[in-house]
Amino acid sequence: MSVTRRTYRYNILWNAALIHRLSGIGLVVFLPLHFLVLGLAIESAGKLDSFLQLAQMPVVKLAEFALVFLLVVHLLGGARLLALELLPWLDGQKLLAVGAASVAALVAIIFLIRVL
Dihedral, CA of residue 18, residue 24, residue 29 and residue 35, to nearest 10? 170
Q: Which residues of the chain have a pLDDT value below 50?
A: none
Find out whether 70 and 26 touch, Cβ atoms under 8 Å. Answer: yes
pTM for the model: 0.71
Cα separation values, 5 from 9, 10, 80, Å? 9, 11, 27
Whether 92 maps to a domain, the answer reads yes
pLDDT at 5: 67
Whether 41 maps to a domain, the answer reads no
Q: Count structural domains, the chain.
A: 1
pLDDT at 16: 85
Whether 67 maps to a domain, the answer reads yes
Instruction: Provide the residue range defining the domain that includes 85.
Output: 3-29+56-115
